[in-house]
Amino acid sequence: MFSPSLTRKILLASLAVGLSGAFLAGCDRQSGGDTQPPAASETPGETPASAVDRSHKGSRLPDLTFKDAGGQQINTAKLTGKPLLINLWATWCGPCVAELPTLDRLAGQGKVRVLAISQDTGASDKVAAFLQGKGLADLDPWLDPEGAAASQWQANTLPASIYYDARGRELWRVNGGMDWNGPVAAQLLAEAGK
């Protein structure tokens, strides 16, 4: 669940921008694996800049290893040299699924490396099949069935995204769905060049 301070920030940001708060919809692990609500819409809204968490700015990219269903590994600490957007998601999370097409387009542009890490447990091959079934060719199906990523980045809701510059220093985090091809995302992603 959201912490009281994060809940206040979200509420204030929603009121300040005049939005209903649906843009920050997310799934929580406590509500039960495969029974999360569906996405409110197929296209996530823009997250206001005031909802961006910069409290970890400057933190180093942690050394975590993830695998795909075939056993190929990727180590986060070695992913420097290009801005990196880490996205924690799950197939059962409606807001996660709604933002996947915009993440896929962002990954396909090649300016930012997108590391989408599934928080699904169970059959590891279902994540790759899920992405393929949605036509998402630019997102690799990295798996985290033990929840190491969620624990490392203290993510209590999904989707959760953490952005690093090319040197592996954290810039910001966003909890909840986002249109990664919209103007707010473009402004946030441009911060890696500063």
Residue 134 CB contacts under 8 Å (≥ 6 apart), including other chains: 97, 100, 101
CATH code of 4-193, in short, is 3.40.30.10
Listed by start position, the domains of the chain span 4-193
Rounded Cα distance between 87 and 103, Å, is 9
**Percent of the chain residues past pLDDT 90, beyond the cut:** 67
Residue 49: is its pLDDT beyond 60?
A: no
Angle at 161 between CA 155 and CA 163, to 5 degrees: 120
The pLDDT value given to residue 40: 35
Task: Flag whether the pTM goes above 0.85.
Answer: no
| 140 has a pLDDT exceeding 50 | yes
